[in-house]
């Protein structure tokens, strides 16, 4: 794989998806590959599937690989698992994927990846200020990007609003589970996004997740201070963001390594 390509993998509740991403354009270099998420979604079963997705594209030793996970990921370790198997909590995601795939990877939260993807190549391309990305799916994911810096693991979908967890009434799965029509669901979304505005005063709100392709059914019903717009990369945002993030972290690591080498050669 060329220097301008990194591999992105997005672990979702129903599918694990991967594609090589052109870091200059944000486009997929090859068709996306998808394998259904194993059930139960235990660490070993998921890591084995991620490894298959990675192997499909035969990345070279130097290719940066990013993996997005639907829970809090801190220093490589999974801290929460709202929509995947509980056995993930405390698992080192980076290590387990490296063990199965035989390739080092960078790991992050899935909504953070989607937000970063939209910032790098999508609806918020290069935009300064406070950008709030939300993904409406099985859960609600959030990413906060402030002047280009990602504030990781914001988990705003679990905000308590009037005694209810936002995800339980405003996620796309809640729309389906509660049998809500677009109008009724829009009211729930209004509750969620009004609370977000109260807390964060974002300059721009982006709405992603599969349902964002039907944005014309609910976004026009919302009254907010900030513009609220659909994600441009749709369901590909997580893959693009994970790849772009991995490439940027990889670059930083390389620089650190070179600086350390220089220091040690000066000493000797």
Q: Which residues bind ligand BGC (CB under 6 A)?
A: 70-72, 80, 82-83, 109-111, 135, 137, 139, 141, 155, 157, 167
How far apart CA 47 and CA 28 sit, in angstroms, is 23
Q: Give 169's contacts (C-beta < 8 A, 6+ positions apart).
A: 178, 188, 191, 192
Select 23 or 73, whichever has its Cβ closest to ligand BGC.
73
Q: Give 6's contacts (C-beta < 8 A, 6+ positions apart).
A: 20, 21, 23, 63, 64, 65, 66, 243, 244, 246, 247, 250
Select 122 or 209, whichever has its Cβ closest to ligand BGC.
209
Q: Nearest 5°: phi and psi at 145?
A: -125, 120
Strand partners, 130: 146
CB of 70 to ligand BGC, least distance (A): 4
CB of 141 to ligand BGC, least distance (A): 3
- Residue ranges of alpha helices (H) inside 11-150 are 43-56, 93-101, 110-121
Select 23 or 237, whichever has its Cβ closest to ligand BGC.
237
- Burial class of residue 249 (count of CB atoms within 10 Å of its CB; 0-12, 13-18, 19+): middle
CB of 264 to ligand BGC, least distance (A): 39
Select 139 or 202, whichever has its Cβ closest to ligand BGC.
139
CB of 89 to ligand BGC, least distance (A): 12
Name the residue with the smallest CB distance to ligand BGC.
139
CB of 112 to ligand BGC, least distance (A): 8
Q: Nearest 5°: phi and psi at 144?
A: -120, 120
CB of 3 to ligand BGC, least distance (A): 30
Q: Give 176's contacts (C-beta < 8 A, 6+ positions apart).
A: none
Select 23 or 174, whichever has its Cβ closest to ligand BGC.
174
Select 63 or 188, whichever has its Cβ closest to ligand BGC.
188
């Amino acid at each position: 794989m060329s220097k301008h390509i990194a591999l992105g993998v997005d672990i979702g509740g129903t599918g694990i998806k991967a594609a090589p991403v052109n870091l200059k354009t944000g486009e997929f270099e090859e068709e996306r590959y998808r394998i259904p998420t194993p059930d139960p979604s235990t660490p070993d079963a998921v890591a084995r599937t991620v490894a298959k997705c990675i192997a499909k594209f035969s990345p070279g030793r130097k290719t940066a690989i990013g993996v997005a996970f639907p829970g809090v990921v801190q220093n490589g370790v999974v801290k929460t698992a709202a929509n995947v198997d509980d056995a993930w909590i405390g698992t080192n995601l980076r290590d387990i994927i490296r063990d199965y795939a035989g390739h080092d990877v960078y790991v992050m939260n899935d909504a953070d990846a989607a937000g970063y993807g939209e910032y790098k190549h999508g609806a918020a391309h290069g935009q300064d200020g406070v950008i709030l990305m939300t993904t409406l799916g099985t859960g609600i994911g959030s990413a906060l990007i402030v002047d280009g810096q990602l504030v990781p693991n914001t988990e705003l979908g679990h905000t308590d609003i009037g005694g209810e967890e936002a995800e339980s009434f405003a996620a796309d799965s809640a729309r389906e589970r509660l049998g809500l029509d677009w109008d009724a669901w829009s009211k729930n979304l209004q509750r969620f996004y009004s609370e977000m505005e109260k807390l964060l005063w974002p300059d721009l709100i982006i709405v992603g997740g599969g349902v964002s392709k039907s944005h014309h059914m609910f976004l026009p019903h919302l009254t907010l201070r900030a513009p609220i717009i659909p994600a441009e990369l749709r369901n590909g945002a997580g893959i693009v963001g994970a790849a772009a993030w991995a490439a940027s972290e990889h670059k930083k690591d390389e620089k650190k390594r070179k600086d350390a080498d220089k220091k040690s050669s000066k000493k000797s």
